Structure 1
């Protein structure tokens, strides 16, 4: 069996063709634009995303099944009859609804956390969908006419390309509208945000048949991070992975019961055709790869191969700290008013020091996620990582030292695509056979952690 695993991500759409036994090849990758029409707004062109999906699928050649990973919280409105988009895709990074959510108050926050496990943060889909209804007249008109559909990007892709208006439990758990106890849309949360339940897709399992695209069955659809969790081979409680893409996303398997509320978030890892739901705890850093993109754009480095090694002691050990809060701070702070911060420079500081501080800052925020996850579920002794930053040996070693845990970097780093293929029933264990281990070396001390905590404190609340 041959599967086209399509990873529709924040900056690109990639397709890997994966076969039984784990043989794989990259069929194609297509970048797409990202618009920022106002401060804090982040949007994609939905037609560009659809075209890119079809383009990479065509490049895959002859396949037996299709599996698609989505961005998670990014969402859109479209017409039920024509399938035409009625809005841009509002991306998970978008913060336009922060003020509206803050005005809902503490009682609404408690209600949200109780039902869906999520805070009232613009990261999640609910307030974005409500914003579209309130601010785009054509969307309100479509609702009145009974032709409106609302959802995360997966539901749009499946409806437009395969004729199936559906999402899966894991993706639905990222919206802020699903009841974790029932795995169904919550009337109370829909009413809280003003999102009409009848406009939302049905909720199913990750590995059910979801229509066909050009005659090829769609056999799996799920959030990219949950697909990566499965692709890392994480199955048992305490198994943990971190993906370093645009942001950094930690997921740790929690088992068959909803995990206790904590600094991290309870979420659904997956529900398969057997009807059993596996839960996870989740936390994120808004800016990981995007922080490096910014650093490159201002001239701190030119090419990714510059990030593999550095001379001398760490920037942190010399008092140079960077807090990567370009989009604010996610778990456990949930502070959109936080701002990025460089501190500790002197006349001898050069751009290599600063780019090293950026790497270390992402790692230090990630350690906070690891510590928070360990407080909820007993993590194993090692953590598997993937994504662009995982390819920097300096970053992986620093993360091992700062977290005091073994960090494993699989040689096959397209773990989202690998997980998608596994959800389709492929045996791909051979693709995970080789990896590199990084052991803690004691170079990051408690004093360094305290210094970083103080820098985070100074970065918070800046954007009033």
Structure 2
């Protein structure tokens, strides 16, 4: 057994922590998983205790080693993928954190977000950037012309921490405070280094993807000292260091660190410009490999970085739909279903939703609507409406949200798209994937490993770094497609017509709440 090389892949997702050990064929030979523990100290606050997360990671990895009789010394390299923009700050000397992780779902800084977005200063940036773009046609100016702060990015949540956490303020004055996302915290605990890779840095809102460095503009505006920032490094390499020997009894090289979505894009085999991947998990994330060019969007498609490996810098563009798997979980809590798997058969049991539509706005409506005050609900209920109609309308709403982002992508880019690769727990739903194929006119591919694409991606990148695989072509061959869904041309007109009516319903639910916190 130990004549082979093995890769460890640690994934901290939105709701679950996973650790897998993979062999050279890309097969998982051992794994463990555990749910994250969230804290909700006040309305709008969503936190994770850093110490408890560290305990979960260590227990998970040790349980995997022990239960499967695997010695840590046989791990050739470790890769880490993490949820983005959940951050903490800590003492540079002692390593003690000043506060819990403030997660990307946290909206405690919403008042700051609204104040800054409506300020004369921010409006001035947008107007100035618009003028600069008119004369110089630069993508950087185009991107800044639609700039706005967002709750999901770190920027103003970090500013909130600097304003409200006294111990942090004191240590900042002494130049003894560090900040980092979950990736940086774990790397600091494993190795003592405060580093982050380009994909994690690019998601924060504090990084300039054109200059490939922390934004001096944001530093000066928000008054965030440069010495707090982690060092930005390539996605793979030996710059992450090795785990302290005291942790596992051996030093394990950390060969890769990247965001969960970058890892998913890589694991899905989206290695060429224009390749498209959609993760249907708790939320829906649409990612496109945009090659060597930063995507400048005025409709809300977010420019990110996929990876920087061996001198190759790959950008990606992203759109997100907040409520996906969470909708099905809500239906389960409500008693409409017993298990998520039932939704497929229920949706197929009726010909349509009888003109009823569902608006999935539990977390507001994201790009390209950008309405945090929207309400969720059904519209068009009739006396003979039953549970199957409601479930079908809910699943349709998820797909229609994706179609809305997809239409923006088609307007803003000249990529030739020929297929969609999907992963995530909800990608097991055949009804949704066929509807997605019919609505977009593209072939939809579901891989055999839908729930661990981020694991595969980070394992592949780490394995390339430490010699488990020699080339991207080697790992591309390891990807296996389970099912393919072809668009039904006869259904396309009916589906697009239904989508248009859903968009009308969307307008009815917009700007419902007077306060975004919905207290």
Cα-Cα RMSD: 2.0
In the TM superposition, what is the alpha-carbon distance from 1:454 to its structure 2 partner? 1.1
Q: Kindly report which structure 2 residues correspond to 1:1-400, keeping only aligned pairs within 5 A, or say none.
A: 1-58=5-62, 59-60=64-65, 61=70, 62=72, 63-105=75-117, 107-108=121-122, 111=125, 114=140, 119-209=148-238, 210-213=240-243, 214=248, 215-263=251-299, 264-274=301-311, 276-310=312-346, 311-313=348-350, 315-316=352-353, 318-375=354-411, 376-400=413-437
The CA distance in 2 between the partners of 1:41 and 1:457, in whole Å, is 28
**Equivalent of residue 438 in structure 1, options 485, 494, 498:** 485
Question: Is residue 397–residue 440 contact of structure 1 (8 Å, CA) maintained in 2?
Answer: yes
- For 2:187, what is the secondary structure of its paired residue? helix
Question: Is residue 4–residue 16 contact of structure 1 (8 Å, CA) maintained in 2?
Answer: yes
- In the alignment, does 2:462 pair up with 1:417? no
Question: Is residue 350–residue 389 contact of structure 2 (8 Å, CA) maintained in 1?
Answer: no
Question: Is residue 249–residue 284 contact of structure 1 (8 Å, CA) maintained in 2?
Answer: yes
The CA distance in 2 between the partners of 1:402 and 1:68, in whole Å, is 35
Structure 1 counterpart of 2:134: none
Cα-to-partner distance string for 1:26-61 (whole Å, 9 max, x where unaligned): 510011222223332221222222112212222143
User: Quick one: structure 1 residues 256 and 315, their matched pair in 2 at CA, closer, same or farther if it must change by over 3 Å?
Assistant: same
Structure 1 counterpart of 2:517: none
Question: Is residue 23–residue 29 contact of structure 2 (8 Å, CA) maintained in 1?
Answer: no
Question: Is residue 240–residue 379 contact of structure 1 (8 Å, CA) maintained in 2?
Answer: no
Cα-to-partner distance string for 1:159-195 (whole Å, 9 max, x where unaligned): 1222121001111111111111111111211232332
The CA distance in 1 between the partners of 2:21 and 2:124, in whole Å, is 44
- For 1:242, what is the secondary structure of its paired residue? strand
The CA distance in 1 between the partners of 2:351 and 2:108, in whole Å, is 37
Question: Is residue 237–residue 377 contact of structure 1 (8 Å, CA) maintained in 2?
Answer: no
Gaps of 5+ in 1: none
Question: Is residue 97–residue 127 contact of structure 1 (8 Å, CA) maintained in 2?
Answer: yes
The CA distance in 2 between the partners of 1:369 and 1:227, in whole Å, is 21
- For 1:460, what is the secondary structure of its paired residue? coil
The CA distance in 1 between the partners of 2:483 and 2:188, in whole Å, is 41
Q: TM-score, normalised by structure 1?
A: 0.94
The CA distance in 1 between the partners of 2:513 and 2:272, in whole Å, is 41
The CA distance in 2 between the partners of 1:155 and 1:109, in whole Å, is 33
Give aligned pairs, total. Answer: 462
In the TM superposition, what is the alpha-carbon distance from 1:237 to its structure 2 partner? 1.3
In the TM superposition, what is the alpha-carbon distance from 1:110 to its structure 2 partner? 7.3
User: Quick one: structure 1 residues 109 and 298, their matched pair in 2 at CA, closer, same or farther if it must change by over 3 Å?
Assistant: farther
Q: If you compute each CA radius of gyration, which structure gives the higher value, 1 or 2?
A: 2
Structure 2 counterpart of 1:428: 475
- For 2:81, what is the secondary structure of its paired residue? strand
The CA distance in 1 between the partners of 2:56 and 2:6, in whole Å, is 20
Question: Is residue 41–residue 95 contact of structure 1 (8 Å, CA) maintained in 2?
Answer: yes
User: Quick one: structure 1 residues 305 and 277, their matched pair in 2 at CA, closer, same or farther if it must change by over 3 Å?
Assistant: same
Which moves more between the two structures, 349-358 or 70-79? 349-358
The CA distance in 1 between the partners of 2:331 and 2:219, in whole Å, is 40
User: Quick one: structure 1 residues 26 and 250, their matched pair in 2 at CA, closer, same or farther if it must change by over 3 Å?
Assistant: farther
The CA distance in 2 between the partners of 1:377 and 1:254, in whole Å, is 10
User: Quick one: structure 1 residues 133 and 105, their matched pair in 2 at CA, closer, same or farther if it must change by over 3 Å?
Assistant: same
- For 1:82, what is the secondary structure of its paired residue? coil
